[in-house]
A and B are shown apart, each in its own frame.
Chain A
Amino acid sequence: DAGITQSPRHKVTETGTPVTLRCHQTENHRYMYWYRQDPGHGLRLIHYSYGVKDTDKGEVSDGYSVSRSKTEDFLLTLESATSSQTSVYFCAIRKDRGLMDEQYFGPGTRLTVT
Chain B
Amino acid sequence: SQKIEQNSEALNIQEGKTATLTCNYTNYSPAYLQWYRQDPGRGPVFLLLIRENEKEKRKERLKVTFDTTLKQSLFHITASQPADSATYLCAPEGGNYNTDKLIFGTGTRLQVFP
Contacts and interface: CB of A to CB of B under 8 A. Distances in A.
Q: Please indicate whether A and B come from the same complex rather than being unrelated chains.
A: yes
Contacts of A106: 43
A43 B37 CA distance: 13
B43 A45 contact: no
Contacts, number: 50
Contacts of A103: 34, 44, 46, 102
B66 interface: no
SS class of chain B's interface: helix, strand, loop or mixed? Answer: loop
Contacts of A58: 101
SS class of chain A's interface: helix, strand, loop or mixed? Answer: strand
Nearest to A4: B43
A91 B105 CA distance: 17
B101 to A, nearest CB: 6
Nearest to A106: B43
Interface of A: 31, 33, 35, 40-45, 48, 50, 56, 58, 90, 92, 99-100, 102-108
**3 closest A-B pairs (Cβ-Cβ)?**
A105-B43, A42-B106, A102-B46
